Structure 1
Amino acid sequence: MREQHQLRDDSPERSILARLILPDQTVETDPLEELHGLAVTAGTEVVDELIQRRSHPESSTFLGKGKVEELRLMVERHDADMVIFDNVLSPAQIRNLERATKAKVLDRTEVILDIFAAGARTYESRLAIELAQLEYSMPRLKRMWTHLSRQAMGVGMRGPGEKQLEVDRRLAQKRIFDLKQELGKIERRREQQVSARKEAPTVSLVGYTNAGKSTLMNALTEANVFAKDKLFATLDTRTRRWQLPGWGVVLLSDTVGFIRDLPHSLVASFKSTLEETRQADLLLHVADASSPVVFDQITAVYNVLKELGIEEKNTLLVLNKIDAIQSAAVLTRVLDRYPNAIPVSAISKKGLVQLQEAVGEALGREFYDIEVDVHPGDGKLLSYLEAKGEVLSREYGDETTTFHLRIPAGAMGPVHRDAVEIRPLPGSYHALQRSADHSEADVETESEFDPTSEVA
């Protein structure tokens, strides 16, 4: 019997980009540049673009009637497969636009979720993106989830006479519950692993997607982690040992990049992946200094950090890609707003020495090298020092036990209160005096968050 071969079209789907700009929105020089990058990263070929400025969205079709007709003609002329909006659309608006244009319609959120799904490599990130996709798609169910019926759903999930859509919704809800349970277990394990790690101070790279975080990690640690000039090249946390001159070994972590209007469900789903960032001693906020919208990108990152509850971390702003800046006036403009930012080029390695010095100084402000005398019978303080500090050595005397340790500044309250004697080692005295002034409060002090300052 002769084999039958089915021809398959391997060409990418053809997409048209669209955006509605409202009066209160900041408009970039090229309003669709970022969406173009997202569409290409998702694997589509962009064939045309459409922009409308309007005081408010049309409730049924988002765009005005005339622009919807223009969009339909674009789809017909280019034989486009889909329209991608740089906005968040309601399920009804998507349905109405699909009927009008006879093409698939995606909004910004769905494209970002699709990119994350394609790039997820670890078990944890695959669970996180599946959860985010399901939560996004629940209001948009159109008999999409029958493949989940292969999952073991338990007794009582399917009732007689139910419509298929109701069955699909039950399947999706059960899967969402299971994913949240599993991710909760992973998050608790990750919290324990990260909090128990005491071998070195931790520094975490954060920043807008494609700002060059992975390239900077390679330049600092020679880690040879995957780095590519594309959006969301990194989705999973990578941690490497960084030999910081004048300090010693520091653990440097790199994780997923942020973007404006990052879907809330995605941020929530990736909380366990971002645990390294949540518990880091210092954040390096890497920004693309060559981007014409660098200020908006910096603000977008701070907004995501705020959503994660870690906006008050000690942070250094790193202005990367200065080698790509054509005019010195561009860098001057950014430095005028962030005068303490550190300009670097991860590619040419320019400015890395200054960055290393700034990191060492920042970590020095947060950690104290001290000797502490403790009563042997004070088990509570002994346990506290073991848990909160990095014990470098200990000596047992007749009346006291002497610890040489490195301890975070915010953990000094109980030490000042209960220790027999504290002897700061060289370089720690003035900082130690400042911490003593706040010892009665016995709280961890953190720098004030200010989106207009490079040290948040």
Structure 2
Amino acid sequence: MTTTHQERPLAVLVGVQLPGVDDVEHAADLAELGRLVQTLGFDVIATVSQRRGALAAAAVLGEGKLKELAELTGGSGVVPSGAPERKNKARARRAAESGEDDEDDALGGDDDEGDADGAGSRGARRATVVAVDHDISPSQARNLERATGAQVLDRAGVIIEIFHRHARSREAKLEVEIARLNYVAPRLRETGGGGDRQRGGIGGKGAGESALELDRRKIRDRIAELKQELAAIQREQSTRRALRQGQRRVALVGYTNAGKSSLMRALTGSEVLVADKLFATLDTTVRALHPEVRPRILISDTVGFIKKLPHDLVASFRSTLDEALEASLLLYVADASDPTFRDQLGVTRSVLSEIGASEVPSRLLLNKVDRLSEDERDALRLEFPEATLLSAKIPADVAALRESLIAHFEASMVEAELLLPYAKQSLIGEIYENARVLSEEYGDDGGRLAVRAHPAALDRLRSLLAR
């Protein structure tokens, strides 16, 4: 019996090191782009990198590097006439004075040569996708496609495509489709007859409307429909969150692949998806801390963040991020084994600040410390004295975190007495759900319950009893 192994399509990464970006940061950005492309289902065979003052206006790279890229994809390496690169004269003069070879200066040239050799050893197979670690204009993408003969995706396009493939719930699918259509709309161009114009009937083109304008109008209409459907779902989500108002809620936030879902599974015993890939989780999952305590502590796992996250995705996932905004406590989860986790924390805090969640009480969890040496752990304790070092894979670490969460909420709880009239005995479940009942006594007018609860939960219970 013969098993056929289907080869994954190949991709080439393209990065331009701009002024102010050091070698370490540039290498980390390209490594992250590589992981994104692999998550999308491609094998990365080479990286073409160049140091420039700015992206080339026509096709991102200079002429020499563009030809090097085309050798990996089987393209001509030439931008078609009519779209010449517009040189920045001041930049060219500075490069000439400094002796910098702006067109062909590769970062890590030996690595690029090694990558190119690796591509050649695969025989006739060529890269079919070029992934650019920048947001590029539609014209730059078209020129790159013409020069390389490959599909071109910028960083935003790669991330949006991953979100599109990983979305599971109806809400996530709607959010991603809105972002995807907003990304596609400005990149549409005429095909076939080009700018032909017709007077349209019902369902056809409008008077004097080209095929391109018709396509863009359809996209605008589709986005409007999706937003209406999403708004209805978000109203339901808001109702569910309102019912949880006053409950003790913890939101796990952090960079993608920091280990949030693994921690969620360990804390709650739930079967949430855990995968060693970027953006494995796009839907917010809410589960109770396990073993349960009274009142319950709810844990929510949120979508991960990433550097240069497309703005449309931040806007689309606003309702998902509202879980963080309305949480009682944020747990910032960072992969301590990743050398760039400090920058990743900065990205997480920046996005949460953008939605107004920077004022929510928070704690820092440095995860995956099982991958570090004891000396590295000691250094982290000195640098982050308030952080909790743990591994989601070590039961003792998870148990200690659970106890610290319980202690955190216990500190803010107060004792009080509630009068439960016999006519409102149906609220007994609500009381047990939101407070710890210390004792119960029943008299002629109803039950007197000594409880311990959070002040906000007590106010809500008193409001229900007073109605």
* CA-to-aligned-CA distance 1:167-222 (integer Å, 9 cap, x gap): 00000000111111221222222112112125841111111111111111121222
Decide which of 270, 281, 285 is 2:332's aligned counterpart.
285
What is the identity, as a one-letter code, of the residue corresponding to 1:290? S
In 2: Cα distance, 1:414 partner to 1:276 partner: 20
Q: Which residue of 2 aligns with 1:427?
A: none
Tell me if 1:195 matches 2:191. Answer: no
Decide which of 124, 134, 146 is 2:181's aligned counterpart.
134
> What SS is found at the alignment partner of 2:274?
coil
The alpha-carbon deviation at position 134 of structure 1 amounts to 0.5
Q: Which residue of 2 aligns with 1:240?
A: 287
In 1: Cα distance, 2:297 partner to 2:395 partner: 19
The alpha-carbon deviation at position 141 of structure 1 amounts to 1.1
In 2: Cα distance, 1:408 partner to 1:199 partner: 8
In 1: Cα distance, 2:50 partner to 2:455 partner: 53
Q: Which residue of 2 aligns with 1:23?
A: 19
Gaps of 5+ in 1: 1-8, 145-153, 377-385, 416-456
The alpha-carbon deviation at position 39 of structure 1 amounts to 0.7
Aligned pairs (5 A) from 1:147-226: 158-197=205-244, 200-226=247-273
Contact kept in structure 2, 1:195 and 1:279, CA below 8 Å: no
In 2: Cα distance, 1:141 partner to 1:349 partner: 52
Contact kept in structure 1, 2:295 and 2:453, CA below 8 Å: no
TM-score (norm 1): 0.76
In 2: Cα distance, 1:349 partner to 1:411 partner: 31
The alpha-carbon deviation at position 21 of structure 1 amounts to 1.8
In 1: Cα distance, 2:301 partner to 2:166 partner: 16
Tell me if 1:55 matches 2:101. Answer: no
* CA-to-aligned-CA distance 1:215-254 (integer Å, 9 cap, x gap): 1112122212221111111111222221368765311111
Q: Which residue of 1 aligns with 2:374?
A: 328
Q: Which residue of 2 aligns with 1:364?
A: 410
Judging changes above 3 Å, is the alpha-carbon distance between structure 1 residues 240 and 412 closer, same or farther for their aligned structure 2 residues?
Answer: closer
What is the identity, as a one-letter code, of the residue corresponding to 1:58? A
* CA-to-aligned-CA distance 1:263-315 (integer Å, 9 cap, x gap): 11111111223333222211111110100111011111111211222122111
Contact kept in structure 2, 1:391 and 1:404, CA below 8 Å: no
TM-score (norm 2): 0.74
In 2: Cα distance, 1:333 partner to 1:90 partner: 43
Judging changes above 3 Å, is the alpha-carbon distance between structure 1 residues 291 and 41 closer, same or farther for their aligned structure 2 residues?
Answer: same
> What SS is found at the alignment partner of 2:364?
strand
Q: Which residue of 1 aligns with 2:115?
A: none
Gaps of 5+ in 2: 75-119, 192-200, 422-429, 462-467
In 2: Cα distance, 1:282 partner to 1:330 partner: 28
Judging changes above 3 Å, is the alpha-carbon distance between structure 1 residues 21 and 398 closer, same or farther for their aligned structure 2 residues?
Answer: farther
Judging changes above 3 Å, is the alpha-carbon distance between structure 1 residues 106 and 254 closer, same or farther for their aligned structure 2 residues?
Answer: same
In 2: Cα distance, 1:359 partner to 1:333 partner: 25
> What SS is found at the alignment partner of 2:320?
coil
Tell me if 1:34 matches 2:32. Answer: yes
> What SS is found at the alignment partner of 2:319?
coil
In 1: Cα distance, 2:39 partner to 2:391 partner: 24
* CA-to-aligned-CA distance 1:33-68 (integer Å, 9 cap, x gap): 211111111011211111112222222222223222
Decide which of 3, 9, 12 is 2:8's aligned counterpart.
12
Tell me if 1:346 matches 2:392. Answer: yes
In 1: Cα distance, 2:270 partner to 2:460 partner: 39
Contact kept in structure 2, 1:244 and 1:356, CA below 8 Å: no
In 1: Cα distance, 2:133 partner to 2:298 partner: 37
> What SS is found at the alignment partner of 1:371?
strand
Contact kept in structure 1, 2:288 and 2:296, CA below 8 Å: yes
Contact kept in structure 2, 1:217 and 1:252, CA below 8 Å: yes
Q: Which residue of 1 aligns with 2:97?
A: none
Count of equivalent residues: 389
Contact kept in structure 2, 1:369 and 1:404, CA below 8 Å: no
Decide which of 65, 68, 92 is 1:67's aligned counterpart.
65
What is the identity, as a one-letter code, of the residue corresponding to 1:83? V
Tell me if 1:121 matches 2:168. Answer: yes
Q: Which moved more, 1:177-186 or 1:75-84?
A: 75-84
What is the identity, as a one-letter code, of the residue corresponding to 1:368? M
Judging changes above 3 Å, is the alpha-carbon distance between structure 1 residues 37 and 157 closer, same or farther for their aligned structure 2 residues?
Answer: same
The alpha-carbon deviation at position 95 of structure 1 amounts to 1.3
The alpha-carbon deviation at position 13 of structure 1 amounts to 2.1
The alpha-carbon deviation at position 24 of structure 1 amounts to 2.1
What is the identity, as a one-letter code, of the residue corresponding to 2:358? E
RMSD: 3.5
In 1: Cα distance, 2:126 partner to 2:231 partner: 45
